[in-house]
Amino acid sequence: MLKKTNLPTEETPTDEPVDKTPTSAADDEVEIIEIEGMENQFGDTGSSPGDLQAQLEILQREKKEVHERLLRKQADLENARKRIEKEKREFLRFSGGELIRKLLPVVDNLERACAVAEEAGDANLQEGLRLVYQEFLDILKKEGLTSIDAEGQKFDPNRHEAVLREETDEIESDQVIAVLQKGYFYRERLLRPVMVKVAVPLRKEESEREEDPEEGSAGTGTDSDRELV
């Protein structure tokens, strides 16, 4: 009769080596020091809650200041853009003013020519000049030219230019007596002021002399009589 015997089994080798080296106390201390160093680096900053709150307030204040500066810069850019657009519109609106200003002497000469033709009594020439003058003036009016009324009005330095002054007590002071050269607006902007003659009050001596013309002669006679005596 056969006996069953237990044969020794062989352990299957593994690919990963098993480190069976026992760890010493020094290695454990080194590992603990490394862990504490990492905690100090990434964890505790060494600052108290009060310091952190102060730093947070500083950052928030700096953020607010930067935001306000950005808003001001944005507002300045917007204002500059609006100003440039306004200047561009005004330039396009009044760009023809300089050309029309150069044409005003032609208008003046046509007016003088019409007046000369009327004085000469040449009806055909007068009618021809009048038609040319009116057509030319209509074209300028369509472009924005308008004449300035001045005669009989109060003198206005913003639109009138006083070339002559006449002392009189028959007309209110600073009133326009006559228009020497017409003035014009171009699209609500003064293109050329009106040259006018303005009434001014009489000087006091001349006014008294006109009120009593015999007073001077009477005084002169008295002086001559005294000299004779």
pLDDT at residue 76, as a whole number? 94
Residue 48 tokens read as 């108290």
**Strands annotated E in 72-193:** 145-147, 160-167, 176-181, 184-186, 189-192
Sequence-distant (≥ 6) Cβ neighbours of residue 155 within 8 angstroms: 162, 174, 175, 176, 196, 198
The contacts of residue 166 (CB under 8 Å, 6+ apart) are 177, 197, 198, 199, 200
> Does the pLDDT of residue 152 top 80, yes or no?
yes
Cα dist from 129 to 11, 93, 109, 116, 136, whole Å: 132, 31, 11, 10, 11
Q: Which residues share a beta bridge with 162?
A: 196
pLDDT band at residue 212, thresholds of 50, 70 and 90?
A: low
Is residue 9's pLDDT more than 90? no
Instruction: Report the pLDDT value the prediction gives residue 121, as an integer from 0 to 100.
Output: 87
Look up residue 23 and give its two tokens.
Answer: 């760890």
Of the candidate ranges 17-26, 54-63, 176-185, the one whose mean pLDDT is the lowest: 17-26
DSSP, res 12: P
Question: pTM of the prediction?
Answer: 0.56
Q: How many CA atoms lie within 13 A of 206 on its CB side?
A: 7
Task: State the average pLDDT over residues 71-93.
Answer: 91
Give pLDDT, residue 91. Answer: 87
160-167 vs 194-200, strand pairing mode: parallel
Please state the domain extents for the chain: 147-205
Given a cut of 90, whether residue 190 has pLDDT beyond it is yes
Confidence of residue 110 (pLDDT cuts 50, 70, 90): very high
Which residues are 189's β-sheet partners?
186
Q: What does the pLDDT read at residue 224? A: 40
pLDDT band at 25 (very low <50, low <70, confident <90, very high): low
Residue that wins the pLDDT comparison between 211 and 4: 211
Q: Which fold has domain 147-205?
A: Nucleotide Exchange Factor Grpe; Chain A, domain 2 (2.30.22)
Q: Is there a contact between 103 and 143 (Cβ–Cβ < 8 Å)? A: no
